[in-house]
Amino acid sequence: SSEHYPYGNEYHAMFSGSGHSDFGPQLKSMNKQLFTIVAWDPRGYGHSIPPVRDFPPDFFERDAKDAVDLMQALKFNKFSLLGWSDGGITALIVAAKYPTLIHKLVVWGANSSITQEDLTLYNAIRDVSKWSESIRKPMEEMYGYEYFAKTCEAWVDGISQFAHNPDGNICRHLLPNIKCPTFIIHGEKDPLVPRFHPEYLHNSIQGSRLFLMPEGKHNLHLRFAEEFNKLVQDFLL
C-alpha cells in the first residue's frame, strides 16, 4: 500500500557475516507493517556461495552494483539503506552513485578511508584462531573453519590495499554526492572503527546526523537492538 515506506536494505558485517547472522533482531522486530525488509548476502558470503569471496580493488563498487541490481530485479524503484561495517561502506557508495534510487541512509561501524591505525586494528584480527569462541564459533558453523579463516585473511589483505591510495581513500571522494537524509550511528567503544571516521562522514555528508552510543561497540545493533531499532525506525519515518 502507499503507507509502506521504502524497505531497509540490511548489509553484511565487517566480512563473512550473512543477513540472518548479522541482523537477527532487525529482521525479527522491525515494523513489518511499515517496512518491507530485504536482507541480502553479497557474493561469497552466507547463501551467496558459490562464488568464493574475493577482494579485487573494486570489491566495494561490485557489492554496490550487486545490491542495486538485486533491488531492481525485485522491482523496488526507491529504497532506504541500512549498512553496517563493510556494508556501511557499500551503502555510502550506493547512495553516492545512485542518488535517484535512495530514500534514506543509515550507516554504523563504517569508514571512508584507511589509516595506519586501522591497519594495525585489522591485522590484529587476521588470525581467527585468536578470536573469542563466542564470535568465532557461529562463523565456523556457517562456513567451516578453512573457508572462514582464508576469507578473514583475504579480507585483511583486501581492505589494506586502500592504504596505498592518497589519504587511504576508499570512498571519501563520493561523500559530497550523497544527497539523501543520512543517519550515522557510532559506538564509542567500537574497537575496530575509531571515532574520527564517523565524524569525517558527518562533516562530509551535507545535512547528516551523528548519534553516539556511549556503551556501543562494533555490534551495537545486536547488543542494543531495542534502542537501535527505535532510532532507525523513527529516522526512516
Residues forming the active site: 85, 190, 218
Degrees (nearest 5) of the Cα angle 119, 120, 125?
95
How far is Cα of residue 144 from the mean position of the Cα atoms in its chain?
23
Among 184, 231, 177, 236, residue whose Cα is nearest residue 208: 184
- Phi and psi dihedrals of 186, rounded to 5? -140, 130
Count CA atoms closer than 13 A to 76's CA, side-chain side: 23
Whole-angstrom distance, CA of residue 73 vs CA of residue 153: 33
Listed in sequence order, the residues at least 6 apart from 58 whose beta carbon sits closer than 8 Å to its beta carbon are none
Measured CA to CA, the distance from residue 44 to residue 86 in angstroms comes to 14
Helix (H), strand (E) at residue 232? helix 225-236
- Identify any residues that bridge with 107 across adjacent strands, giving them in sequence order: 83, 184
Give the distance, in angstroms, between the CA of residue 136 and the centroid of all CA atoms in the same chain: 19
